[in-house]
Amino acid sequence: MPDGHKPADYALDVRNLRTAFPTDAGTIAVVDDVSLAIRPRETLAVVGESGSGKTMTFLSVLGLTPPPGKIVGGEVLFGGRDLTKLSAEELRDIRGPGIAMVFQDPLTALNPVFTIGAQIVEVIRAHRPVGVGEARAQAIELLERVHIPDPARLIDNYPHQLSGGMRQRTLIAMAIALRPKLLIADEPTTALDVTVQAQILELLAELRAEDDMGMVLITHDLGLVAKYADRMAVMYAGRVVEYCEIHEGFAAARHPYTHSLLRSIPRLDGPAGEDLAAIEGQPPNLEALPPGCAFRPRCFLGSDRADCAAERPALLPTGSDAHLSACLHWGELAAGGGR
């Protein structure tokens, strides 16, 4: 990350993180040299296609890389400690009160055979020495905070008795139960109706402000989260390819992939009947990345440039320290070649 900042400046500081999976074709880095930093009280949007490594980055942060994958390099600095060096028990103490995560599909993220109250109580009692009665009272308060109507009654409901939106609110209640410093929301609205999506994002923004949390919004829909995020990190094939203030990203993206992503967002104010711009080519196959820039085969700037094929471009400042891009030719985009 931009040097010159002390670790304490960040709620979370991920440096050169690599997470790899062994496969028949050799080891594949699904998270490849990723550096990200989230300031306290800031919301960072992490954007990318499925398989770009955005979820895996934050599962790695929490030490929840699904086996046989594992972290093979880098640091995850949180509260002055490197999480990659902690024992399982120390890491468990961080999950919940330090960093909490809301997952994508509220249908499968709640345990079907326990009431939602029992599940929140379980989380509270995993970290606080309180009795079941006290934990239950706290759970009702939490359900109130996420605007679940009649929480004293709904607390005894099973997940299948609640709507998708209610279930996601329950998961959010669980995530904020221990007042984490950082909340990671992994595609929190993907599985929900469009009308509910905005409500959930509003709720997250409200809770973030109330509890002074840092927040990461992982999404593939840049348009949806734009209003709620301060900065954005765009990921492609396991790497961060652009990292900047969100309004900068929208106004002057400096990576062709970001450009293409922005053009694929449907706009209400655009001409009616116009086709959406799809990104050409196939999403990258991590087992067979082309040499050089991974986005090269789909790049509208031209896929046959020799310098792009020579080596993978590093994420470097473009003009200002606050706007990083991994494109050698960002200058052409800045000059207006993109849209």
Q: How far is the CB of 160 from other proteins (least distance, A)?
A: 5
Measured from the CB atom, is 64 or 309 closer to other proteins? 64
Residues lying near other proteins in the complex (CB under 8 A) are found at 62, 64, 88, 92-97, 100-101, 103, 105, 108-114, 119, 122-123, 126-127, 158, 160-161, 171, 174-175, 177-178
Q: Which is nearer to other proteins, 113 or 268 (CB)?
A: 113
Closer residue to other proteins, CB minimum distance, 94 or 308: 94
Query: Of 93 and 321, which CB lies nearer to other proteins in the complex structure?
Result: 93
Q: How far is the CB of 125 from other proteins (least distance, A)?
A: 9
Shortest separation between residue 199's beta carbon and other proteins, angstroms: 21
274 burial type by CB count under 10 A (0-12 exposed, 13-18 middle, 19+ buried): exposed
**Beta carbon nearer to other proteins, 63 or 338:** 63
User: Nearest approach, Cβ of 96 to other proteins (angstroms)?
Assistant: 4
> For residue 209, which amino acid is it?
A
In one-letter notation, the amino acid at residue 135 is A
- Please say which residue, 136 or 323, places its beta carbon nearer to other proteins: 136
What's the min distance (Å) between Cβ of 178 and other proteins?
8
CB under 8 Å to 171, separation ≥6 — which residues?
102, 103, 106, 109, 110
Nearest approach, Cβ of residue 31 and other proteins (Å): 17
Q: Could you tell me which residues are beta bridge partners of residue 13? A: 37, 77
Task: Please give the Cα distance from 312 to 141 (Å, whole number).
Answer: 50
Q: How far is the CB of 8 from other proteins (least distance, A)?
A: 23
53 vs 98, beta carbon nearer other proteins: 98
